[in-house]
């Protein structure tokens, strides 16, 4: 990628692995300096020299996106240091694979705190800072293909991603005159660690193994999503669809009656491993 982002600072949550890690590399390749955050400092320690080898700066910070006070303190430090991001990628997230009736209240709260409130805090803190400084900005919030075509046995995750999509719509309206762009990202089947963590599942081991195998064999590399994010920011795209078949599925959702589309979702859930095979 040519230096489209020269002179820009890009803030990324969940940058220690997967989509966040690759997004940091892609923006750095495009000339940006990176502000990388995660609860996983080991991942950030690996990322930092890779960014610096590209001739860009990489500021790393430990951040639990559910900790509002810690988020506010970090934004104040960045402001004081003159390292204000031009682009914010609210990427940190998690998924709990579980039938609805077996998903605990604690698991619901954890999912909503990370996937929704973590995005809310990022949007609120940086949008307020941009407005105070009279500068433009771009928010990229990571939803999911699951908010277009939800699989079974992922109720908390799906609900959280619908919330992110709805939040993006509202922010796009509220910030339309503030020179703050908002993009909602919908990754499809991406081969990341999110489905490899068997500690966050109440599914039978054979189904989990089948699902993990599907993501390895058919999932896109996170680099695909990272490049789509960068291209979406360049073009000012409000809805970024990323991954094999996501655009086709979104079109089918608009075209088909709800009952017919749900049948396709059930079939896909069985094929992927979210539901047992018949």
What is d(CA 262, CA 260) in angstroms, rounded to the nearest whole number?
A: 5
Residues involved in catalysis: 157
Strand partners, 59: 35
Pairing of strands 33-38, 58-62: parallel
């Amino acid at each position: 990628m040519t230096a489209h982002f020269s002179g820009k600072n890009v803030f990324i949550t969940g940058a220690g692995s997967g989509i966040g890690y690759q997004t940091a590399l892609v923006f750095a390749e495009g000339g940006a300096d990176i502000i990388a955050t995660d609860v996983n400092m080991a991942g950030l320690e690996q990322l930092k020299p890779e960014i610096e080898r590209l001739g860009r700066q990489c500021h790393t910070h430990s951040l639990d996106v559910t900790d509002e006070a810690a988020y506010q303190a970090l934004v104040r430090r960045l402001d004081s240091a003159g390292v204000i991001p031009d682009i914010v990628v609210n990427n940190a997230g998690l998924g709990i694979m579980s039938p609805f009736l077996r998903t605990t209240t604690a698991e619901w709260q954890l999912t909503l705190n990370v996937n929704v409130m973590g995005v809310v805090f990022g949007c609120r803190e940086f949008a307020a800072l941009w407005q105070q400084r009279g500068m433009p900005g771009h928010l990229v919030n990571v939803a999911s293909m699951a908010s277009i075509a939800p699989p079974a046995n992922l109720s908390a995750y799906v609900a959280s991603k619908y919330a992110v999509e709805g939040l993006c719509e509202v922010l796009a309206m509220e910030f339309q005159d503030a020179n703050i762009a908002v993009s909602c990202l919908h990754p499809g089947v991406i081969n990341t660690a999110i489905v490899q963590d068997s500690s966050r599942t109440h599914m039978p081991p054979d189904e989990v193994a089948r699902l993990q195998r599907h993501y390895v064999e058919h999932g896109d590399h996170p680099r695909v999503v990272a490049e789509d994010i960068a291209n979406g920011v360049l073009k000012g795209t409000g809805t970024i669809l990323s991954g094999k078949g996501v655009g086709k599925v979104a079109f089918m959702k608009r075209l088909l009656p709800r009952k017919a589309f749900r049948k396709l979702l059930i079939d896909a859930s069985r094929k992927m491993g979210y539901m047992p095979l018949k």
